[in-house]
Structure 1
Amino acid sequence: MADATDTVDAPAPSAKTTEAAQAAGTAKDAASPAGFRLGALPGGLLRNARPRQWVKNVLVLAAPGAAGALSDVDVLRQSGIVFLLFCAAASSIYFLNDALDVEADRAHPVKRNRPIAAGIVPLPVAYAVGALLALGSLAGALLLCNVGTAVVLASYLVVQVLYCTRLKHVLVADLAVVTSGFVLRSMIGGIAADIPLSQWFLITTGFGSLFMVGAKRYSELVLMGDQAAESRKLLAQYTTGYLRFVWQASASITVLAYCLWALGHQGEDPGLWRQLSIIPFVFGVLRYALFADRGTAGAPEDVVLKDRALLGTGLLWVIVYGVSVAGL
């Protein structure tokens, strides 16, 4: 009889048991985060700030550009400041959103590689950096711009925090909140430079933003299919037919609003060049709709930056509209 200090040999595991254990271990490793490494933290923080998505913040130039005020050095400088402040504010929301969605992101084939989901950026650090960026952007708006700019930026932050914590789970409201982010971007440049915002500008930017948001959600649903709920719970409650209706209707209203503005109203003479700007504008919307219809518009910044035809169309619109503003 063996005493308490003796060891008893366990039976050797079978080949099937060994293979099953190895398979389970491999699956566990694939699903678990990469882990925290101090040397990787700075790069992880930068990645989580999503500098590639800062291209969206170019919308702060929309109102000054539409008013033909970008040739004014003071307006251009103010627009640059607002751009940086909005980049900081938007990045703060990315940190908060990714921290709250860490478990869902780990179930997503692409989002699982985000720094927080991968364990590169610890959750306490993510929350702290997000708070610092939000407070810093508000302080900068008050010190470097005007009260109106700070109010718009604060509104953006409040609405986005509500989205991250609650509204992302409310049907249709989630589309409206994401759309509002684009609209506030387009408004803040004009408010910072004391430029009046026309109703046509707000209608075009509002429905143009909803067009891109609807196309993004549609593409996400097409990509994820039956696994949509694992990444974004609310996404599974939408249908591809409904989201297709949203982006198609929004695209139609965007084009109509722009055409009515470009052709003039209430006896206004818009000039030939502003009327000609309809051509590249409509072509750009149709080109983007092509990616939406394919279900490949899940990342708007990638669509805009990687498609040469779309980039060329945008450049052509800028030139034609610029000539219109200059009155040449």
Structure 2
Amino acid sequence: MKKYIKIARPDHWIKQFFIMPGIAVALLLTDIKITELSILKLLLGFFGTCFIASANYVINEWLDAPYDKYHPVKKNRPVVTENMELKWVLVEYAILAVLGLLLSFLVNKYFLITAAVLLVMGIIYNVEPVRSKDIVYFDVISESINNMLRLLMGWFIVTSDSIPPSSILIGYWMAGAYLMATKRFSEYRMIGDPKVAGLYRKSFVKYTEKKLLASSIFYALSSTFCLGVFLIKYRIEYLLCIPFIFLLFAYYSAMSLDNDSAAQKPEKLYKEKKLMLLVLLIIILFIVCTFCTFDFLKPLTSSALIKLEV
């Protein structure tokens, strides 16, 4: 059973904490207080998301096996190295999908709909004839939309009366695209041979280091712009957080240039102490800016011209 459990990647469940910003944004923008947050719904939502993600991982590992054998690390995955049977992989996928949808149903109907879309995106990303992961640029866009879906799932744990502003949704989506493009850039550099890279991932046939780096910059700019619009629109004090968000993107980009970079394994990022310290600093700064008012920032929201004395 170990190999079947392994392909569900329970060690990747930490990624599902990406629903937490959705919860934070909902508490910030609605009248719901943190004391009114249902712990039961939070647990149901978190584990429902985990099971849906694991279902997607199962089909990902099975369908990627012919390509993973060309990757220096992924060639050791159980589907590549061990004798696994398709019928049990399909049973595992079905069980995980049903469990995920059942737990999602117990949260509310909008959480269930979003969870179902997350499940469908796993099929679009992995299964032919679409298999979006093989299409240059669309591979990143289609995979990173899961980031936006997780934000929505976090939001719907708190409230089902509305949806978040488009600026935060697109910003979160583009942040995910930045992470995925940076991951591919780091992978491409590690493999070191464009021909082998193309055998591992079909989209790498048309990618180059330059294209991947340029695309990651585009996604980073798109994300920070949308996040900036959201932050300044809803609370001018958040302007103080923006330089540190820029620093976070810059630090992550520099980290992707390292040999065997942690950018290739987002689920292991919590082990990067400097990165986590920077994230902690940003979280603290957000909390301070949420509860403190800085009057010197208010003139920045005015559209009136500043008059000079002659």
Structure-2-length-normalised TM-score: 0.82
Structure 2 counterpart of 1:196: 163
1:298 equivalent to 2:267? Answer no
Matches within 5 A, 1:245-324: 245-262=214-231, 264-265=232-233, 270=235, 272=237, 274-294=238-258, 296=261, 297-302=263-268, 304-324=269-289
Alignment partner of 1:277: what SS? Answer: helix
Q: 1:311 to 1:146 in 2, by over 3 A?
A: same
| Aligned partner of 1:178 among 139, 143, 155 | 143
Question: Kindly tell me: are residues 68 and 317 of structure 1, through their superposed partners in 2, closer, same or farther at Cα, counting changes over 3 Å?
Answer: farther
Q: Does 1:214 align with 2:177?
A: no
Match of 1:150 in 2: 112
Structure 1 residue 54 and structure 2 residue 16: aligned? no
Moved over 4 A (4+): none
2:134 is aligned with 1:134: no
| 1:116-136 residue CA offsets vs partner (Å, 9 max, x unmatched) | 222164332222111110121
Q: 1:129/1:280 Cα in 2 relative to 1: closer, same or farther (>3 Å)? A: same
The amino acid that maps onto 2:248 is G
Give the RMSD, CA atoms, in angstroms: 2.2
Distance 2:72 2:236 in 1: 50
Alpha-carbon distance between aligned partners in 2 of 1:182 and 1:132, rounded to the nearest angstrom: 23
1:221 and 1:236 in contact (8 A); partners too: no
Residues 239-270 of structure 1, C-alpha deviation per residue, up to 9 Å, x if partnerless? 221111110111122223333333x23xx6x2
Report the structure number with the largest CA radius of gyration: 1
Aligned to 1:38: none
State the Cα deviation string for residues 163-186 of structure 1 (Å, max 9, x = none). Answer: 111222222221111011111111
Contiguous gaps of at least 5 residues in structure 2: 294-310
1:202 is displaced (CA, Å) by 1.1
Residues paired across the two proteins, number: 280
Does residue 112 (structure 1) correspond to residue 79 (structure 2)? The answer is no
Which residues of 2 match residues 6-25 of structure 1 at below 5 A? none
% identical equivalent positions: 23
Question: Aligned partners of 1:148, 1:313: CA distance in 2, in Å?
Answer: 33
| Structure 1: tracts of 5 or more residues without a match | 1-40
Q: Which residue of 2 aligns with 1:91?
A: 54
In structure 1, how many angstroms separate the alpha carbons of the residues matched to 2:182 and 2:245? 18
Cα drift, residue 322 of structure 1: 2.2
The CA distance in 1 between the partners of 2:132 and 2:219, in whole Å, is 21
Distance in structure 2 (CA, Å) of the matches to 1:103 and 1:238: 20
